[in-house]
A and B are shown apart, each in its own frame.
Chain A
Amino acid sequence: MMARLKSRLMLALRSLLHRRQVESEMEDEIRFHLEARTADLIAAGKSPREAARRARVEFGATESHKDGMRAALGVRWADNVLADLRYAARLLRKSPGFTAIAVSSLALAIGANTAIFSVANEMLYARLAIPRARELHMLYSVGKRPTVIHGSWGSNFNEDGFQYLDAVAYPFYRQLVENSHSGLEIFAFKPLDRLNVTANGQAQAAQGQLVSGNYYSVLEIKPTLGRPILPSDDAVPERGTVAVISYGFWQHAFGGAADVIGRSINVSGRLLTIIGVNAPEFTGAESAQRSPDLFIPITMVREFAPEFDKDLLTSTRLAWVNLGVRLPVGASKSIAEAALTNTFQASVRSGLKQKDGESIPTIVLEDGSRGLANLRTNRELGKPLHTLLGLSGLVLLLACANIANLMLARASGRQREMAVRLALGASRQRVLRQVLTESLLLSSLGGVIGLFVGYLGRNALPRLMESSFDGYSTNIPFNWEIFGFAAGVTLFTGILFGVLPAWRATREDPNRGLKETAQSATRRRSAWSSKLTVSLQIALSTLLVASSALFLRTLINLNRVQTGIQADNLLLFDISAPPARYPGVSAQALFEQMEQRIAAAPGVTSVTLQTPSFVSNSHWSGDFDVEGVAPVTVDKNDPDRYPAMMMVGRHFFNTAGIRIIRGRGFGPQDTATSASVAVINESLAHKFFANSDPIGRRFKDKEDEKHLKHFRTIVGICADTLYGSVREPAEPIHFDLYVDVKEFRGATFMVRSTRPPDALTEDLRKIVRTIDVDIPLTAIRTQRQQIDANLQQERLFATLTSGFGLLALLLAMVGIYGIMAYMVTQRTNEIGIRLALGAQRNTVRSMVLREAMLLCVLGVVVGLGTVLAAVKVVKSMLYGLEARDPASLIATAVILLTVALVAAWIPATRASRVEPMVALRHE
């Protein structure tokens, strides 16, 4: 059986490849037969002419036998497909308008889907490039809020009253390694954002990752050059002065020099020796998208992450180490979790004081195959990307409905052709195949162009989602998966919009089809399938237009939000002071020096610095205990009740343009040696001093207790401003002077100047270089850019959905115009009779319009119903409006009805201009 199948396939393949030879051999064989027969007949006494005639008669119809031979070879289907394709191509060429609309709408829809799919595929589902990535799990501490863990440097989120934290304190990590007999090898790592690296004489910002000595062995990764970080490197704190660099960093900072191993680089003031270069595909344990530039032993943490007044290696009060394990396939997750939780809780009980109502977290293992950041990425981008995929899927569906509709109208025009084919003996299957070939040819054209659109769009999308000043960009790979997706979508759409017309084409009884003419005065068929398709199109358009209205209004609302600062003419950049070179308060001195030098630069009106910067999605807070009032206690109902804080320079309020409402701002009298002062905003005054005057009152942060000047006196109240994000309403903030803070390492400088940012940046770079050549300016942006970056996702949504909405309207218009024009043509006779019998032209016009509006209203009602039912999904992505925003929905309905009216107007007018005499003769 197999042998036969194989021989058949081989023969078919050979025949297809050597088509011409096969044909000529067939000819030769038949000719040989005829000649041999003729010769035999002549030998039997026939005349040559008679013999040749007899031979041909006895042989039978040559062509039909040849066809049989071709079928036997398995090449006939290929001939059929080719013929179908040729015929389909000719038909498409004959109606360029239809082809253009169909192909371009498909290309846009398939392109949008491909681009969004490739982004979602990479951002949400890409795995780390390590062997057996599936085994990798990350450790989370999960506890009912409030938990006993107060201080954390890591990423946490709250869900259902539980706090998920991806980090533990270093001593707890060591105890987990030594005491939990889970049989699992735990490795530790920590991403470091702000490193200053001077390589080849050039100061630049770099990303780092602190890693434990067993990191490389657990991940089973070998560097392409040199050696990995080993357990001996992180055994003694401060002694592991080595670094493995990423392939990308090796290329751009060292030009891929082969002798890079053994070289020294200055990393935030410490000299490290390069011991290895990672493979290009390795991105570390945090993210599958981009690799940190440097991998450094974790016990070097004191050198590179010193913004805390606790010792990171010995303090139990700050959770900061990220942990991962390999959980072999088949190993029990719950048993591992129980073992780890046991040890962890024992450590926490002995290492931290538990207050009333605080819970002790458990250890939970989460999928780490996509990197630690993936859980966060999924939370942030999962819903938006899936929503976009859904919306672009609707666009695709709409494009399909549109083409199906146009094809239905064309199929009606070709009814006679189909009837003739069927009557001449074409099988239904054959005709079906012909129509499907046509639709698949269309979809393939759209698919090929769409793939190209998607290829261009895939990198534009993440660029719209990230801020340009971050300094890194995500490249979305264009691989077989994406290609397969596009091909699948193309095939699916081709069948989707081809199947209805194909079914209609073959359903016809050839007899009726042949007899039927347009002469029949009444509509025999109600063309319900076309009408329903148009209504479906309107419904889909309603959905898309409504969503674009919602996202547009969201963006408009967010743009209207008062930031409370004068954001124009403000240039921002980040500076961090490495502790190795600027220990303790010498960092503040460095920042003060920079402030003064920049303030003296030409064109600079004023300068200040702040941590964190406005609308940068970072949030700082601490205890807020007011003197003479019981300390703010842990409140289960309001765990976020601590006010936000911002550490600023003396000229902060006039640089940022924030009004002081009462009291005073900071002045020259406020120095590192004078009594600490603070300015609070109105919200804070309302929340904490509702019945009293805050000015002159003092407050402290418990963390400040070791600090001499731990009480701060409130000297003024300023107007409310935004804090972390444009989306969050103004909240209580207190502003403290950075000279009063014990540890101040990184800051955002804020420079007010009317000079163009580029020229100003050059001057600023020069100034900073004269102070310290190893300190780079990073993340240079204007305050406007920062606010815009904060609204990037909303802008992306508004842009894309508006695009979808416009395309939807265009397609709906084409659909309505198409079906109404077709109907008017079909009913020319009927209209002629009506007019001949005395119907008014206006009546005829409104008859057509009424029909169009009916279809439209049906579609709009269904569409709006769907919007109302589905809008909950996007509720969290909207701002300043109800999910069922009446204005957006009414506007959508009005727009669609108007579009329908406009689209139907031309056919309606044409109907009203029908000349009865012409119409009655019309066929």
Chain B
Amino acid sequence: MSRQVDLLQGTLELLILKSVSLGPLHGYGVLLRIIQISGEQLVIQQGSLYPALYRLEASGALATQWAPSENNRRAKFYTLTAIGQKQLDQETERWRQMSRIMGAILKLTTAPDALAEEAQ
């Protein structure tokens, strides 16, 4: 149970960093951009965005500023910092590596020798 949440959290933070890297956004804007760029395939609980945003802010990856929104309401805008850019690069690289490995594993159709032995 808890492992799933961890995984989701990691992914969520990467998604947020990616969204914000394209330009400053408020929380709802982050949500809209994720939905938009994922082709509405990803379903996320909207509220859980905020603890993740706050965590990124606390670690210095995001900077914040209150500013008027597109419909002239006061909103909190998030921008990517240098620390955040570095984190985004690292996470992206890790994600690529992970998906390469996962992809290779999932492509297997027959058990390799070493694995077969271990299974016995």
CA–CA, A26 and B58, complex, Å? 14
Q: How far apart are A464's CB and chain B's nearest CB, in angstroms? A: 57
- State how many angstroms separate the Cβ of A702 from the closest Cβ of chain B: 89
Interface presence of A757 (CB below 8 A): no
CB of B100 closer than 8 Å to a CB of A: no
B14 contacts chain A at the CB level, 8 A cutoff = no
Instruction: Give the CA-CA distance A153 to B71 in the complex, in Å.
Output: 97
A37 to B31 alpha-carbon distance, docked (Å) = 10
| Cα separation A587 to B99 with both chains bound (whole Å) | 108
Asked if B58 and A33 sit within 8 Å, CB to CB, the answer is no
Q: A4-B83, A65-B51 are in contact. Are A60 and B60 (CB under 8 A)?
A: no
B48 within 8 A of A: yes
A79 on interface, CB distance cutoff 8 Å: no
Q: Is B4 an interface residue (CB 8 A)?
A: no
Q: Which chain B residues lie closer than 8 Å to A62 at the CB level?
A: 47
Contact with B along A1-32 (1 / 0, CB 8 A): 00110111001100000000000011011101
Which of A66-74, A605-613, A887-895 forms part of the interface with chain B? A66-74
* Contact indicator B58/A8 (Cβ below 8 Å): yes
* Known contacts A8-B59, A32-B73; is-contact A69 B28 (Cβ 8 Å): no
In the complex, are the beta carbons of A72 and B51 less than 8 A apart? yes
A65 to B12, CA, bound (A): 15
- Given A33-B27, A72-B58, A73-B58, are A58 and B46 neighbors across the interface (CB < 8 Å)? yes
Give the shortest distance, in Å, between A4 (CB) and chain B (any CB).
Answer: 5
Q: How far is the CB of A63 from chain B (nearest CB, A)?
A: 10
Q: Is A690 an interface residue (CB 8 A)?
A: no
Q: Is the CB of A25 within 8 A of B76?
A: yes
**B50–A74 contact, CB under 8 A?**
no
- Chain B residues with CB under 8 Å of A65's CB are 47-48, 50-51
Residues of chain A contacted by B28 (CB below 8 angstroms): 32-33, 36-37
**In the complex, chain A residues whose CB is within 8 Å of the CB of B76:** 25, 28-29, 32
Beta-carbon contact of A59 and B47 below 8 Å: yes
Interface extent on B, as a size class?
Answer: 20 to 34
CB distance from B55 to the nearest CB of A (A): 4
| A30 neighbours in B (Cβ, 8 Å) | 47, 50
Chain A residues within an 8 Å CB radius of B18: none
Chain A residues near B58: list those with CB within 8 A. 7-8, 11-12, 72-74
| A35 partner residues in chain B, CB cutoff 8 A | 73
Contact status B48-A68, CB under 8 Å: yes
Given A3-B83, A4-B59: A61 touches B47 (CB 8 Å cut-off): yes
B56 nearest in chain A by CB position: A72
Residue of B nearest to A7 (CB): B60
Which of A8, A36, A74 neighbours the largest number of chain B CB atoms within 10 Å of its CB? A36
CB neighbours (8 Å) of A25 from chain B are 66, 76
**Cβ-defined partner of A28 (8 Å) among B60, B71, B74:** B74
- The yes or no answer to B54 lying at the interface (CB within 8 A) is yes
A32 pairs with B26, CB closer than 8 A: yes
B9 to chain A, nearest CB (A): 10
Q: Does B91 contact A (CB under 8 A)?
A: no
Find chain A residues with CB under 8 A from B50 CB.
26, 29-30, 33, 65, 68-69
Query: What's the Cα separation between A215 and B117 when bound, in Å?
Result: 88
Q: Closest B-chain residue to A61, C-beta based?
A: B47
Q: Which residues of B contact A6 (CB under 8 A)?
A: 60
Are B74's CB and A73's CB within 8 A? no
CB-CB < 8 A to B55: which residues of A? 72
Residues of chain A lying within 8 A (CB to CB) of residue B60:
3-4, 6-8
Distance in angstroms from B59 CB to nearest chain A CB is 5
Interface size, chain A (Cβ < 8 Å): 31
B7 to chain A, nearest CB (A): 17
Q: How far is the CA of A680 from the CA of B74 in the complex (A)?
A: 106
From the candidates B45, B57, B66, name the one contacting A60 in the complex (CB within 8 A): B45
Chain A residues within 8 Å of B66, by CB: 25
Is B69 in the interface zone, CB < 8 Å from A? yes
Measured in the bound complex, the distance between the Cα atoms of B12 and A284 in whole Å is 71
Report how far A68 CA is from B57 CA in the complex, Å: 13
* Chain B positions within 8 Å of A74 at CB level: 58
**Residues in A whose Cβ lies below 8 Å from that of B75:** 29, 32
Given the complex of chains A and B, what is the CA–CA distance between A3 and B31 in angstroms?
Answer: 28
In the complex, how many angstroms separate the beta carbon of B51 from the nearest chain A beta carbon? 3
Q: Is A33 within 8 A of B59, CB to CB?
A: no
Name the CB-closest residue of A to B32. A40
Q: Which of A6, A32, A61 has most chain B Cβ within 10 Å?
A: A32
B54-91 Cβ-contact flags toward A at 8 Å (1 or 0)? 11011110000010010101111000000100000000
Tell me the smallest distance from the CB of B73 to a CB of chain A, in Å. 6
Q: A39: which B residues are within 8 A, CB to CB?
A: 71
**Given A32-B28, A58-B46, is A73 in contact with B59 using a C-beta cutoff of 8 Å?**
no
Least CB distance from B57 to A in Å reads 7
- Whether the Cβ atoms of B51 and A71 lie closer than 8 Å is yes
- Known A-B contacts A32-B69, A69-B54, A74-B58; the reply to A60 vs B27 at CB < 8 A is no
**A442 shortest CB reach to chain B, Å:** 34
The residue in A28, A32, A33 that gathers the most chain B C-beta atoms within 10 A of its C-beta is A33
**Which chain B residues in 26-50 approach chain A with CB under 8 Å?**
26-28, 31, 45-48, 50
Closest to A25 in B: B76
| In the complex, per-residue mask of A881-914: 1 if CB is within 8 Å of any chain B CB, else 0 | 0000000000000000000000000000000000
Complex Cα gap A39–B70 (Å): 13
Residues of A within 8 Å of B71, CB to CB, are: 39
Q: Is the CB of A60 within 8 A of B46?
A: yes
User: Which of B58, B71, B83 has the most chain A CB atoms inside 10 A of its CB?
Assistant: B58
- A residues near B69, Cβ cutoff 8 Å: 32, 36
A61–B51 alpha-carbon span in the complex (Å):
12
* Nearest-CB residue, chain B, relative to A72: B54
Complex-state Cα separation, A62 to B47, whole angstroms: 7
Q: Which residues of B contact A33 (CB under 8 A)?
A: 27-28, 31, 46, 50
Q: How far is the CA of A26 from the CA of B57 in the complex (A)?
A: 13
Give the CA-CA distance A25 to B58 in the complex, in Å. 15
Whose C-beta in chain B lies nearest to the C-beta of A58? B46
**Nearest Cβ on chain B to A20's Cβ, whole angstroms:** 16
Shortest distance from the beta carbon of B76 to any chain A beta carbon, whole Å? 5
Question: Cα distance A60–B46 when bound, in Å?
Answer: 7
How far, in angstroms, from A785 to B26 measured CA to CA in the complex? 84
**Contacting residues, chain B, for A71 (C-beta < 8 A):** 51
CB A79 to nearest CB in B, in angstroms, measures 15
How far apart sit A49 and B51, CA to CA, in the bound complex (Å)?
27
Chain B, 97-120, contact with A by CB distance < 8 Å: what is the 0/1 string? 000000000000000000000000
Distance of A58 Cα from B32 Cα, bound (Å): 13
Q: A33-B27, A36-B28, A72-B54 are in contact. Are A7 and B47 (CB under 8 A)?
A: no
**Closest chain B residue to A66, Cβ basis:** B50
Q: Which residues of B contact A3 (CB under 8 A)?
A: 60, 83
- Min distance, Cβ A463 to any Cβ of chain B, angstroms: 56
Q: CA A12 – CA B55 in complex, angstroms?
A: 11
A6 and B60 CA atoms in complex are apart in Å by: 9
User: Which residues of the other chain, B, contact A68 by a CB distance below 8 angstroms?
Assistant: 48, 50-51, 54
Interchain CA distance A11-B59 in the complex, whole Å: 9
On chain A, the residues within 8 Å of B74 by CB distance are 28, 32
Question: A26 vs B26: C-alpha distance in the bound complex, in angstroms?
Answer: 13
Q: Is A7 in contact with B48, judged by CB distance below 8 angstroms?
A: no
Cα(A35)–Cα(B72), bound, Å: 13
CA distance A8 to B75 in the complex (A): 22
15 contacts between A and B (CB under 8 A): A4-B59, A7-B58, A7-B59, A8-B59, A8-B60, A11-B57, A11-B58, A29-B27, A32-B69, A33-B27, A58-B46, A59-B45, A60-B45, A60-B46, A65-B51
Given known contacts A59-B46, A60-B47, what 12 new A-B pairs fall within 8 Å (CB)? Answer: A4-B60, A7-B58, A8-B58, A12-B58, A25-B76, A29-B26, A37-B28, A37-B46, A65-B48, A65-B51, A69-B51, A73-B58
10 tightest Cβ-Cβ pairs between the two chains A and B: A68-B51, A7-B60, A72-B54, A60-B47, A65-B47, A72-B55, A59-B47, A36-B28, A69-B54, A60-B45
